[in-house]
Structure 1
Amino acid sequence: MITDDLPLDELARAWDEVREEYYDALNDAYDRRILDCAARLAADPGGESAYVWTIGLLMMAPYAAWAPGDSVVPEARAALAAADCALRDRPCEHETHPYREHEPEFDEDLSRQLCGLHDRHAAWDEDHPREQWLCPRNVAGLARIALDIIEPGSAVDVPPRLPVGAQDTIETLSALLHGYPQPGTDINEEISCQAGELRSAAPDDRPGRLLVVMAVAWYAVSDFVRNPGTVDALIAALEMTLPHYADATCVHDGHPALPRSGPNAAALGIRLSSPGGRALYERNRGQKAPLEHLLCPVALADIARESLSALGARRDELLDRAENGTGR
C-alpha cells in the first residue's frame, strides 16, 4: 500500500489510463490524478517514495502537455523540478542509468515496472538492475524526461522525442496529402492551421514549419482545394515569413534535395519544428545532410518564393472561376 486508500497497482493503472487517453482534453478526473501525484512528490521530493510519484507524473505527462486544466502544468512542473534538484547530485557509483535509454515507446512499460520496483520480491527481468532504476540520479533523469514532455526542449540530457501530438499531425497530413483524408478531417481547416503554425513559429521552429507549408501548398494548388480563403491563408503566412530571410546568404555549392512527395515533406517539416525532432534528426541522420545545410536560409527563401508564386497563380484561377460563374 503506497497510500492510505489505494494500492500502488491501482494507482499505476489509473495513471496509465491518463497516458493512453492523453487527448481527452480538460478531463477533471485526470487533472485531479496529476495534481494529487504532484502534491505527494512536492511534499518530499527527495524522499524514498519520490520514484513512485515521479514515474506517475512521467506516465501522465502527455496529458499535461496536451490540454489539461489551468493549474495542472505549474503544479506538475514545480514538483518535478523539485525532485530533479533534490536528487540529481546524490552520490552514485553507476556508470549509466535507465533514463538515458528511455525512448517514448518504453512509456507503456512504466506501469508494470513501477509495480516491480515497489515490490522488491517480485520478479525483475529488465535491461537494468532494480537498484539502477531506484538510484536517485535515475529518478532525477526520469523527472527531466517528464519536464521535457510538458515543456519540449527544457532538458538536453534526455533522449529526444517529438512533442505530444506531433505524430498524430504527421499521420493526419499524410492521409490528407495522399488524397484520402482521415474521417472528420476538415481539409481547409487543416491547411489553414498549418499556415497559422508558420505565422506564429519561433525562429528555430520556423524552417520546419515552412517545409510543412510548402508540402500543403503543393496540395492547395491542385483542384482538391477550391476555397480562395485557404489559399490566402497560406499566402499570408509565406508573406510574413519571407522578410525573415531577406538578408540570407550562404557559401554552399548547392542544397540537398527535399522530399519530393507532399506526405514525406510534411513529415520532415513537423519533425524539424521542435527541439526534440531536430535532435532526433541529427541523432539518426546517418548519411543525410546536416541541418545547417538542409535548412540553409537561402534555400528556405527560395522555397517560400516558389510556393508563393504557385499559390498566387492558384488564387487568381479561383477568383476567375468565381467571377465567370464556372464554380469554385
Structure 2
Amino acid sequence: MDEIPPQPSQSRPAAPDNWEELLEDWEDLHQGYYLGDKDEAVLDCVRQLDADTTGEQALFWTLGLALLSPYVVWGHPGPGVEAAVVEALAKVERALGAYTCERDRHPHEDGLEAQLKLLPRVLTALSNPGEAELDDLAMAKAGRSKPAAPEGQRAELLSHWACPRNVAGFARAIMAHVGPAH
C-alpha cells in the first residue's frame, strides 16, 4: 500500500537537535575542508533521511544531501555511497512526489546548482526562523541588500521551503545530479 503524503502541519520544519554541528560538518565537506570520514557523514545523512522520509525532519536531511552532493559526484566516495544516496532520495520522491500544492513555483525549481550557494543560509533560517534569519534568506533569494520580508512573507517563506512538493523536487534534482548518468 502506498504511503499517503502528509499534509504540512506546522509553520516551521523541525530541525535535528544537533543541526548546528551537522551544518558545520556539511559545509566543511562541501567546501573540501572536512577532516572526518566523508563517506560516513554522507551515509549518516542517508540513514537519518531513510528513517524520516516523510517526517518533520525530511527537509533537513534532503537539503543536507543536496549540500553533500558535490562530494558524492566528484569526491570519489567509497563503494555503495552513491547508490545509498539515490535509494534514500528515491524513497522521498515516491512518498512525497504526488503531493499537490497551489503554489506556482517552489525553490527546487531554481535548479540545484543555484540553490547550493544558498543552502547553508536556508538551513540556518529554517532551523532558527527568527526575523533576522528569514529576512537574510529573503534578501539573498531576491538579490537585495535591504530588509525585505514582512511577517506574512516570513511565514510563507518557511512553508514554501517545507512544502512536501519542494522536498520531493529537491530529491529528484539531487538524484539527477548524483545518479548514474552524471
Q: CA RMSD in A?
A: 2.4
- Is the Cα contact below 8 Å between 2:16 and 2:57 reproduced in 1? no
- Is the Cα contact below 8 Å between 1:61 and 1:150 reproduced in 2? yes
Kindly state the Cα deviation for residue 152 of structure 1 after the two structures are TM-superposed.
Answer: 6.2
Name the CA shift for 1:115/1:18 in 2 (closer, same or farther; >3 Å).
same
* AA of the residue aligned to 2:72: A
Measure the CA separation in 2 of the matches of 1:34 and 1:103. 18
Measure the CA separation in 2 of the matches of 1:40 and 1:61. 16
Specify the alignment match of 2:167 in structure 1.
139
Measure the CA separation in 2 of the matches of 1:141 and 1:118. 20
Kindly state the Cα deviation for residue 3 of structure 1 after the two structures are TM-superposed.
Answer: 4.1
Kindly state the Cα deviation for residue 105 of structure 1 after the two structures are TM-superposed.
Answer: 4.0
2:115 pairs with 1:102:
no
- Is the Cα contact below 8 Å between 2:86 and 2:175 reproduced in 1? yes
Name the CA shift for 1:134/1:148 in 2 (closer, same or farther; >3 Å).
same
* AA of the residue aligned to 1:34: V
* AA of the residue aligned to 2:117: E
- Is the Cα contact below 8 Å between 1:28 and 1:69 reproduced in 2? no
- Is the Cα contact below 8 Å between 1:54 and 1:143 reproduced in 2? yes
Specify the alignment match of 1:149 in structure 2.
177
Kindly state the Cα deviation for residue 108 of structure 1 after the two structures are TM-superposed.
Answer: 2.1
2:130 pairs with 1:121:
yes
Measure the CA separation in 2 of the matches of 1:113 and 1:19. 15
2:33 pairs with 1:16:
no
- Is the Cα contact below 8 Å between 2:63 and 2:170 reproduced in 1? yes
Q: Secondary structure at the match of 1:69?
A: coil
Measure the CA separation in 2 of the matches of 1:110 and 1:92. 22
- Is the Cα contact below 8 Å between 2:23 and 2:120 reproduced in 1? yes
Counterpart selection for 1:43 from 47, 51, 60: 51
Measure the CA separation in 1 of the matches of 2:173 and 2:83. 16
Where does the alignment leave 5 or more consecutive residues of structure 1 unmatched?
154-162, 164-328
Measure the CA separation in 1 of the matches of 2:112 and 2:52. 27
Kindly state the Cα deviation for residue 17 of structure 1 after the two structures are TM-superposed.
Answer: 1.4
Measure the CA separation in 2 of the matches of 1:61 and 1:17. 13
Measure the CA separation in 2 of the matches of 1:32 and 1:65. 15
**TM-score, length-normalised on structure 2?**
0.73
- Is the Cα contact below 8 Å between 2:39 and 2:77 reproduced in 1? yes
> What percent of counterpart residues are identical?
34
Measure the CA separation in 2 of the matches of 1:69 and 1:152. 15
Measure the CA separation in 2 of the matches of 1:28 and 1:72. 16
| CA offsets 1:53-108 (integer angstroms, 9 cap, x no match) | 00000100111112101121111111111111111112312111011113514312
Name the CA shift for 1:82/1:103 in 2 (closer, same or farther; >3 Å).
closer
2:75 pairs with 1:69:
no
Measure the CA separation in 2 of the matches of 1:110 and 1:141. 15
Specify the alignment match of 1:83 in structure 2.
92
Count of aligned pairs between the two proteins:
149
Q: Map 1:166-315 onto structure 2 (within 5 A).
A: none
Q: Secondary structure at the match of 2:134?
A: coil
2:58 pairs with 1:55:
no
Q: Secondary structure at the match of 1:129?
A: helix
* AA of the residue aligned to 1:84: E
Q: Secondary structure at the match of 2:24?
A: helix
